Structure 1
Amino acid sequence: MLTKINTGTWLPAWVPQTSGILAFILLFCAMVESATNGFDGSLLNGLNILPVYKDYFNLTPATTGLNTASVYIGKILGLWASGLLCDRLGRRPVIFWSSLGSIIGVIIMAAAQNIGMFVAGRAILGLFSSWASVAGAVYLSETFAARWRSWGVGILNNFYYVGALIAAGVTLGTSKWQSTWAWRAPCLFQGIFAIICIVLLPFIPESPRWLAAQGLHDDAHQVLASVNADGDMNSQIVLVQFKEIVDTLAYEKSHSTMSPLEMFKSKVSRRRLFIGTSPGWMSCIVGNIIASYYLGDELKTAGITNREDQLKANVVLNVWCLVTCLTGTQLAVSWGRKPTALLCQFSLTTFLFIIGGLSKMYASNPQGASQALVYGDVACIFLFQGAYSIAWTPLMTLYPPEILNYSIRANGYTLKQYCNALPALVLIYLMPIGLANIGWKMYFVNASWDVLIFIVIIFTWVETKGKTLEEIDEIFEGSKHSDAPNLAKVVAGQARMDHDAMTKTAMGDAYLGKAHEA
C-alpha cells in the first residue's frame, strides 16, 4: 500500500507503509553515486587493459592519466554547489538532477570520437555524480530507520563494489570484440544506475530532518513513522526521534545562521569539520588508487602480464572487496568506527610495504622470478584491497554525516568530498607516470605516509557507535540539545516518552492546534 506524503518540493512521493520495503527502496535509490563510482573505477581498470581502447585514443601515460582522472575534474567543478543545493532544494531533487546529468555524461563518453570528447563526457559525469555523492549520503543518514541506520548508511558505499563487479564482468565480456564497441558498450552501461534511481525516487520520502528544518513538522513526523514504525505515529521510537530532531534544530537555529560559514565559526565546529572530512583525504591517499584504476599496471609489476588474466583478476578482486566491505560494515556497527579504522589502517600499511618489497624482487630479475613470488605479490595486492575495504569503504559514507551536525552536514560533507577529489585528481593523473618511472618505489612512498594516518586516527577520532545523529552532540558539546530520553534506553524499555509532553515541549501550542484541527 502506498501513501502520498508531502515532500516540501516539486518532486512528489507515494511511500510504502511497510518500513522494511521502504528501507530497501531507500538504499537502492541512494546507491546511485557509489555504484556509478565503482563502475567507473573498474571500467577504467578494464579499458586501460584493452588494446582497442588504448589504440583508438593513441594513449600515452599522460593521456591515460588525463582520461582516467577527468571524472575528478568534473567533481571538483560541481562539488562547490552540492551542499548549498541540498539545503536549498531538498535532498531528493538534487539526487534526481544528478542522475539525469550523469546519464548525459555517460552518453557523451560512450559516443566519444577523440580524447577531448571522452574527457568532456567524464567531466560531466563527475560533475553531476558529485551532487549525488553529497545528497545520497546525507539523505540516507537523515532518513534511514534508526535501528538500521549504521548498517544502511555503511552499506551505501559498499555498492561501489557492486558497480565495480558489474563493470569488471562487462569489460571482460566485451574484451574480445574487435570494434570500438568493446569500450563504448561498457561506458554506455554505466548509466543504468542513474536510470534505476530516477525510477525509484517517487517512492521514497524527503529527509525528515530537512522537512523539520523547513517548518514542515507534521510531514517530518509522518516520514519518521513510515521509515521506523510502519506508519505508526505514536510509536515510542518515532516520538523520541521527532522530539530530538525538532529540539536540536531549534537549538542550532537559535545559535547559528545555518550558513556554510558555520563550519569555521566555533572551536567545536572546526573540530567536527576536521574529523568529519578526514575520511575523504585519508581514504584517497592510502594507496588504493593503484589497484582501483591501474590494476593492469600493478599486476605487471607483480609478473601478471597476460591481458585476459588481468581482466579476470579485476573480476575476482571486486568479488573479494565486496565480501570484505560487508564484513567491515558489521565490524563498524558492532565493534565501533574507530577500532575498525585502526585495524584497517595497520593492515593496509603492512601489506603495502610487503607489496613494494615483492615487486622490487620481481623487478630485479623478471626472467628468474619464481611462481611463488608472483602469486605471493598478487595475494598481497588482494589482501591490501581487502584491508582497505574493511573500513574505508563503509566509513566514507557512515562516519562523516554522524560527526557533522545538521547546520553543517551538507556543506561539511561537500568539503569531505573535496578532500577526496582534489588529491584523487592529482594521484590518478600521476600514478601511471610514477609507476612507469619509479615502479615498485611508489608503494614505499605511499606506505610511509600511511603510518601518519594511523597516528592521526588514534588522537583525533571519536566513537559514535549506538547513538542517534542528535545524541552525538553530547560527545562534542557535553550534552545533547533535547530532554528526550536516549533512544537506546527507550528501545531497551528503560525509559518512555509521553506523547502529549513531547508535542508541547517540542512544538508548542501552534503544533497542538494543527493536531486538534486534524
Structure 2
Amino acid sequence: MIGNIYVITAISVIGGGLFGFDISSMSAILGTKQYKCYFNQGPHGPGFDGESDCSGPRSDVQGGITASMPGGSFLGAIASGFLSDIWGRKTSIQIGCIIWCIGSILVCASQNIGMLVVGRFINGIAVGICSAQVPVYVSELAPPSKRGRVVGAQQWAITWGILIMFYISYGCSYINGVAAFRVPWGLQMLPAIGLYFGLIFLPESPRWLAKKDRWDDCHSVLALVHSKGDMNAPFVLLELSEIREMVEFERANRDASFLELFKPKMLNRLHIGVFTQIWSQLTGMNVMMYYITYVFGMAGLSGDTNLIASSIQYVINVGMTIFALVYIDRWGRRLPLLIGATLMATWMYANAGLMATYGSPAPPGGVDHVAEESWQIKGAPARAVIACTYLFVASFAPTWGPVSWIYPPELFPLRLRGKAVAITTCSNWIFNFALSYFVPPAFVNIQWKVYIIFGVFCTTMAIHVFFMFPETSGKTLEEVEQMFEHHIPAWKTKVEFQKIRRAEGGEIDDKEAAMRRQESPVRMEATEGKGS
C-alpha cells in the first residue's frame, strides 16, 4: 500500500484532470471546420472538401452542448455524497471512472447533436463525483501542513488536463474528416482507466474508516501516511485520539443528514462553502477556458493563430498554479482569495473599457463565423485585450483556482463532510452550467458588457471574503471545528502554519497535547452543555 502523500495525491487528482480534458476537448474543437460542418445548423451545407463554409451549431445550441457536461456534474456531485458515505472515498471515485468511460464512448461515437449532449451529460456525472470526492479523500489523508498543497493539486491536475487535451485536439485538427474530433474524444478515456487501477494501491481515508469502526485500519493508515508506519509516533496518536473523540461525540449526539447542514450551527459554514464554489465560477475563468477562441476571435485572431494564442493561457494556467502548490499553506486561504478577486476585477474592467472605447460591432456573420453577431477590436487595443486576458488567468491560477477546492472540505465535521462537499460542488456545477449556456448568446446580445458583469462579481466576492471567510490553514480538521464553535470573526483568524509543522515533527509535549485535547470541540461542547 502506498503511503507517500505526494504519490497518493498524484494518482487521485487525475480525477480533476478529467474535467480539464473535457474543457479543452470542447474549446479546441468547436472552432474547427470538421466540427462545425458535421454538427452544422447554419445556412451552409455540410462537407469536408475544403470548400464548404459551415457555421456550426447555433450559439444557443452550442451553449447547450457545452452546458450538458456541468449539468451532469451537478447530478454527479449530489450522488457523490451518498456513494462516498456508504462505500468510501476510493470506491466512489472508481465508480466515477467507470461512468466517465461510458460517457466518452458515446461522445466519441456521436452521430448527431443529441447523442453528443447525452454523452457529455454522462461524462459530467463522472466529473461531478470525482470533483466532489477527490478533495475530501486527499484532505482526510494529508497532514495539516500539507493539506492545502495536496488538495490544491486537484486544480493543477485540471490545468494539466486542459493543456494536454488542447494540444492533442489541436494536432488532431489537421486530420481530415470526423476523426479530427473523434480521436481526442476517445483518448480522454485513458486517464480514467489509469485512475481506476491506480486507486487500488492507495489507502482508504482514515476518517471514513473510523466512521465505520475500523479503528485498527484507521490507526494503520495514519501511521503509514504521517510517520512512515510508526504506530506510536506522537502526532499519529494525538490525531487518532482526536478522531476517536470526534466520532464518538458525533455518534452519541446526532445523526448526519443533509438537513443538519441547514440548521443554525452549520448554515454559516454551508453558506461559506457554497459561495466559495459559486464565486469561483462567477470570476469568469471557466468561461475564458471554454470560449477563449470566441474572445480571441473578437480580437482579430483566426485559424491556427487563434488556437496557438489560446493555448498560451493554458500554459500560464499550469505554470502559475505551481506557486499555490508551494506556498498556499503559508499564504493561507483568505489572502489569496482577496488578492485574486481584486486583480481579476481589474483585468475584467480593463477589457470592458478597451472593448467599449476601441471596439465596434462585427459584420454580419460574426467574427471568423464564430457567432451570428459579435464585437470586434483591432490593432494595439486588441493586443491589450489579449494581454489582460493572460493577466486574468495568471491572477486566477494561484488563488481562486486551487483554494476553491481546498477550502470547502476543511469547513465541515467528519459526519457531514462527504454530504457537505457534495452540496458545495453542486453549486459549482449548476453555475458552470448556467454560464456555459449564457455566454455564447451574451457575446451576441450584450457584447463587451459581459466583462462588466464579471468585474462586478469579482468586486463583490472580495468584500464577501473579507467579512465572512475565516482562515483554516495550519489547523487540523478538528481544530477548524473548534474555531467555528467559538464564533471567531473571519477577519480575526490567522494562519498557524509553524505551530502545526512543529506538531507534525513530533515537537509536541504532554502539556500541549493535553491542552489541545482540553480545547477540542468535543470537550468544549460537552462542557457548555453541562453549564447551560
User: Quick check: TM above 0.5?
Assistant: yes
TM-score (norm 1): 0.88
Cα displacement (A) at 1:149: 2.0
**Aligned residue number for residue 508 of structure 2:** 495
> Do structure 1's residue 386 and structure 2's residue 382 form an aligned pair?
no
Q: Pick from 140, 151, 173 the counterpart of residue 149 of structure 2.
A: 151
Asked if 1:52 corresponds to 2:34, the answer is yes
1:185 aligned partner: 183
- Pairing 1:456–2:461 present: no
Q: 1:412 aligns with which of 409, 420, 423?
A: 420
Partners of 1:242 and 1:373 in 2: CA distance:
59
Matches within 5 A, 1:335-354: 335-354=331-350
Question: Counterparts of 1:440-455 in structure 2 under 5 Å?
Answer: 440-455=448-463
Q: Would the alpha carbon gap of residues 75 and 493 (structure 1) be closer, same or farther in structure 2, given more than 3 Å must change?
A: closer
Kindly indicate whether the alpha-carbon contact (under 8 Å) linking 1:290 and 1:298 is maintained by their aligned counterparts in 2.
no
Distance between the aligned counterparts of 1:72 and 1:492, measured in 2?
42
* Alpha carbons 1:240, 1:487 under 8 Å: kept: no
Deviation at 1:110, TM superposition (A): 0.6
Instruction: Write the distance in 1 (CA, Å) between the matches of 2:505 and 2:193.
Output: 41
Q: How far did 1:262 drift?
A: 1.7
Hey, what does 1:433 align to over in structure 2? 441
Question: What is the deviation of 1:497?
Answer: 5.3
2:496 aligns with none
Contact in 2 for aligned 1:43/1:171 (Cα 8 Å): yes
Q: What is the distance in 2 between the residues matched to 1:175 and 1:35?
A: 21
Residue number among 358, 365, 371 corresponding to 2:354 in the alignment: 358
Report how far residue 371 of structure 1 moved. Answer: 3.3
Question: CA–CA distance in 2 between the matches of 1:84 and 1:369?
Answer: 49
Cα distance, 1:254 vs structure 2? 2.2
- The normalised TM-score by structure 2 is 0.85
Return the offset for 1:488: 4.7
2:13 aligned partner: 31
AA partner of residue 112 (structure 1): S
1:294 match: 291
Structure 2: 5+ residue stretches without partners? 41-56, 364-375, 489-498, 521-532
Say if 1:111 and 1:463 are closer, same or farther in 2 by CA, change over 3 A.
same
Residues 469-507 of structure 1: per-residue CA shift (max 9 Å, x gap): 111112111399xxxxx8555346653359xx9xx999x
Name the CA distance, whole Å, in 2 between partners of 1:281 and 1:176. Answer: 37
**Judging changes above 3 Å, is the alpha-carbon distance between structure 1 residues 371 and 331 closer, same or farther for their aligned structure 2 residues?**
farther
- CA drift of 1:97 comes to 0.9
Could you tell me which of 43, 61, 75 is aligned with 2:25? 43
Gaps of 5+ in 1: 1-14, 481-485, 507-518
How far off is 1:119 after superposition?
0.6
Q: 1:224 aligns with which of 216, 222, 231?
A: 222
- How far, CA to CA, are the matches of 2:145 and 2:331 in structure 1? 16
Q: Is the 1:109–1:122 Cα contact (8 Å) retained in structure 2?
A: yes
Residue 515 of structure 1 aligns with which residue?
none
- Match of residue 308 from structure 1: 304
- 1:244 Cα deviation from its structure 2 partner: 1.3
Structure-1 separation of matches of 2:200 and 2:250? 30
> Does the aligned pair in 2 maintain the 1:48–1:54 contact within 8 Å?
yes
CA offsets 1:268-325 (integer angstroms, 9 cap, x no match): 2111111122211001111123311101111122222x21112112321111011112
Contact 1:340 1:390 in 2 (8 A): yes
Asked if 1:71 is matched to 2:69, the reply is: yes
Q: Using the alignment, how far apart are the partners of 1:231 and 1:393 within structure 2?
A: 33
Which whole-Å CA distance do the structure 1 matches of 2:256 and 2:35 have between them?
48
Q: C-alpha displacement at 1:332, in angstroms? A: 2.5
Q: Distance in 2 between matches of 1:492 and 1:28?
A: 23
Does the Cα contact within 8 Å between 2:145 and 2:501 map onto a contact in 1? no
- In structure 2, the residue corresponding to 1:158 is in which secondary structure? helix
CA contact (8 A) 1:109 1:187 kept: yes
Contact 1:351 1:384 in 2 (8 A): yes
1:24-173 → structure 2 map (5 Å cutoff): 24-58=6-40, 59-173=57-171
Tell me, in whole angstroms, the C-alpha distance in 2 between the residues paired with 1:448 and 1:324: 24
| TM superposition shift of 1:341 | 0.3
Q: Give the whole-Å Cα distance in 2 for the aligned partners of 1:143 and 1:317.
A: 32
Is this contact kept in 1: 2:15–2:195, CA < 8 A? no
Residue number in structure 1 paired with 2:239: 241
Residue of structure 1 in register with 2:491 after alignment: none
Secondary structure of residue in 1 paired with 2:398: helix
Mapped to 2, the partners of 1:232 and 1:317 lie a distance apart of: 45
Report the Cα distance in structure 1 between the residues aligned to 2:272 and 2:213, rounded to whole angstroms: 30
Distance in structure 2 (CA, Å) of the matches to 1:430 and 1:493: 53
In structure 2, do the counterparts of structure 1 residues 78 and 290 end up closer, same or farther at CA, with 3 Å as the change threshold?
Answer: closer
Work out the CA distance in 2 between the residues paired with 1:355 and 1:374. 9
The answer to whether the 8 A contact 2:317-2:394 is kept is yes
CA–CA separation in structure 2 for the residues paired with 1:497 and 1:189: 55
One-letter amino acid of the structure 2 residue matched with residue 140 of structure 1: V
8 A contact 1:262–1:407 mirrored in 2: no
Matched to 1:89, the amino acid is: W
Residues of 2 paired with 1:204 and 1:497: CA distance?
33
Q: Given that residues 348 and 451 in structure 2 are in contact (C-alpha distance below 8 angstroms), is that contact kept between their aligned partners in structure 1?
A: yes
Whole-Å separation in 2 of the counterparts to 1:496 and 1:129: 44
Aligned CA RMSD, in angstroms, stands at 2.4
**Is the contact made by 1:72 and 1:422 (CA closer than 8 Å) also made in structure 2?**
yes
- Distance (Å, rounded) in 2 between the aligned partners of 1:330 and 1:489: 18
Within the alignment, does 1:322 sit opposite 2:318 as a pair?
yes
Determine which of 211, 219, 223 is the counterpart of 1:213.
Answer: 211
Q: Post-superposition shift, 1:438? A: 1.9
CA contact 1:303–1:366 (8 Å) conserved in 2: no
User: Which of 240, 260, 263 is matched with 2:261 structurally?
Assistant: 263
Structure 2 equivalent of residue 198 of structure 1? 196
Q: Aligned AA for 2:305?
A: D
Q: Quick one: distance in 1 between partners of 2:125 and 2:265? A: 31
Matched residue type, 1:96: Q
Q: Which residue of 2 aligns with 1:6?
A: none
Deviations 1:230-289 (A, max 9, x none): 111111121111111111122222222122222122x22111111122211001111123
Residue of structure 1 in register with 2:273 after alignment: 276
Q: Distance in 1 between matches of 2:327 and 2:236?
A: 27
Query: C-alpha distance in 2, partners of 1:494/1:137?
Result: 28
Describe the superposition over 1:191-210 as per-residue Cα deviations: whole angstroms up to 9, x where unpaired. 12211101211110110000
What does the per-residue CA deviation read over 1:64-89, in whole Å, with 9 as the maximum and x for residues that have no partner? 11111111221223332210111111
Per-residue Cα deviation, 1:391-446 (whole angstroms, up to 9, x for no partner) = 11111211000111112211111111111111211110110011022211111122
Where does residue 492 of structure 2 map in the other structure? none
Q: 1:369 and 1:441, CA in 2 relative to 1: closer, same or farther beyond 3 A?
A: closer
Pairwise CA distance, 1:370: 5.7
Contact 1:338 1:457 (8 Å CA) reproduced? yes
The answer to whether the 8 Å contact 1:489/1:495 transfers is: yes
What is the aligned length? 479
8 Å Cα contact 2:143-2:504 kept in structure 1: no
Please give the alpha-carbon distance, in whole angstroms, between the structure 2 residues aligned to 1:493 and 1:53. 58
Q: Is residue 133–residue 418 contact of structure 2 (8 Å, CA) maintained in 1?
A: yes
Which amino acid is 1:407 matched to? R
| Structure 2 counterpart of 1:401, one-letter code | P
Question: Corresponding residue for 2:174?
Answer: 176
CA contact (8 A) 1:276 1:404 kept: no
